[in-house]
Chains A and B, each alone.
Chain A
Amino acid sequence: MKVIFLTVLNILIIRFQLSFYPNIMLLEVPLLISLYFFLNEKTKPSHGLFFSCFLGLISDFLYGYPLGLYGFSLTLTGYITYFLYNKLYIQSKIFLFLIFFLSHIINSSIFYFLIKIFNVSILRDYFISFFFSSVFDSLILSFIIKKR
């Protein structure tokens, strides 16, 4: 149920974003939702991986990217963030914020790397709003997700 809800939410937000603010991306919605799901206490990590992959493919479809672009980056970023989240001793929200910020950097790096490898042309300028979306996402996530 939760999966369906989050997926529909993801679709709606992306559609809303593309309809009204196609060139500005203040939130990296797929990453935000997948990390939220992945790092939830009740979620199994394998489910988290599957969900990240699934959400990534849906996002690719919605943004008009080649399928697998977001799928690959979200799956890997989700796993790395999950790994860091579990291995590191998180003392404060700031530390949590930094982890999410780092995960955004990783996600963008993978994204950029794939774009270069497969010579994909992206209409939307993904990297211009990278900083703002990273900050906002990290802030939201650090408030939503509990520190361990």
Chain B
Amino acid sequence: MLFPKKSLFFLLISLLLFNFFILSIQSYSYIWYKTFSYLLTPAIKLIHNITKFFSNLFFSIKELREAKEENKILKEKIMWQNLRIGRLLLENIYLKQLYDFDSKPKYFEYVEKAHIIKMDTPSFSSKLVLSKGKTEGIKEDYICITPDGLVGRILKVDTFSSELLPIVNIESVVSGITERTGVHGVLKGDGSGFLELKYLPPYSDIMERDNIYTDCWDLIYPYGIKIGTIEEIKREADEISAKVKPAVDFSKLSFVYIIRGARD
């Protein structure tokens, strides 16, 4: 027999349980916490994981929507930025040209920058009205140029405006010289946006794509301003003429720089 008496054994168990109970009551928070945490941990973990999964799912959907909207806005921004960059690049190129122009020697004596405010007829071959006049010190036969080349000369000056005769006007006459061979000639406007190089001897050495500059023989335009490029040569029996494309794009002309003429 393992135990002397059954009643004694039950008494022992009762007393032990009693002590254990008292002990449990005093430390109930810890032991219950342990028991419950042990029993409930898997269930809590499961609930936590499920909740986390769904919250992540909803959050992902929301995030995706936001990302789409953000993407749309950013694409638009990039488009505008690209446009701005393009504009800045153009401006940069233009400013570089201006810088080159300014660093040239000074019979290109700068006077004023003037805007074109009026055309006589809707063509750049016609006379143009500039925004600067006598009050800004503009005089007749002052020269109008752009960084690309020669535009024309001042024909008439008023108090606050002046009249510009473009080189492509039929009344305009410019004395020019070819860059490559130094052949002198006279350029007249043909009224259609081009110039005609005239009065060249038949043996003149000119070629297409030759650059032509002012040569100061007319005593109006200073030496060395680019007029244009030969596009087409017409050979006749006693003389040669050529069609010259002006260096300046008259269709895009909006302002000019006015410099002193050769007479000053």
Contact = CB atoms under 8 A, between A and B. Distances in A.
Interface of A: 45-46, 49-50, 53, 56-57, 66-69, 71-72, 75-76, 79, 83, 86, 114, 117-120
Given A49-B11, A118-B30, A68 B23 contact: yes
B83 interface: no
A83 B1 CA distance: 11
Given A66-B23, A117-B31, A118-B30, A75 B4 contact: no
Contacts of B22: 57, 67-68, 71
A71 B21 CA distance: 11
A71 B30 CA distance: 20
Contacts of A53: 15, 18-19
B15 A50 contact: yes
Contacts of B121: none
Nearest to A110: B16
B252 interface: no
Contacts of A118: 23-24, 26-27, 30-31
A42 to B, nearest CB: 17
A68 B18 CA distance: 8
A72 B11 contact: no
B18 A114 contact: no
Given A45-B4, A118-B31, A75 B12 contact: yes
Contacts, number: 63
A114 B12 contact: no
A53 B18 CA distance: 9
A114 B15 contact: no
Contacts of B26: 66-68, 118
A50 B14 CA distance: 10
Contacts of B43: none
B45 interface: no
Nearest to B1: A87
A119 B30 contact: yes
B239 to A, nearest CB: 120
Contacts of A69: 19, 23
B251 interface: no
Interface in B193-235: none
Nearest to A80: B12
A120 B20 CA distance: 13
Contacts of B15: 49-50, 53, 71, 75
B27 A120 contact: yes
Looking at A114, A118, A120, the one whose CB has the most chain B CB atoms below 10 A away is A118
Looking at A50, A68, A69, A120, the one whose CB has the most chain B CB atoms below 10 A away is A68
A75 B27 contact: no
A139 B135 CA distance: 132
Contacts of A72: 16, 19-20, 23
Looking at A56, A72, A76, A120, the one whose CB has the most chain B CB atoms below 10 A away is A72
B16 to A, nearest CB: 6
A68 B26 CA distance: 9
Contacts of B18: 53, 68, 71
A48 B3 CA distance: 15
Contacts of B5: 45
11 contacts: A45-B5, A45-B8, A50-B11, A53-B18, A66-B23, A71-B22, A72-B20, A75-B12, A75-B16, A76-B16, A83-B4
A72 B20 CA distance: 7
A84 to B, nearest CB: 12
Contact of B8 (A46, A76, A114, A117): A46
Nearest to A56: B19
B7 interface: yes
A75 B12 CA distance: 7
Contact of B11 (A46, A56, A67): A46
Contact of A119 (B11, B12, B16, B27): B27
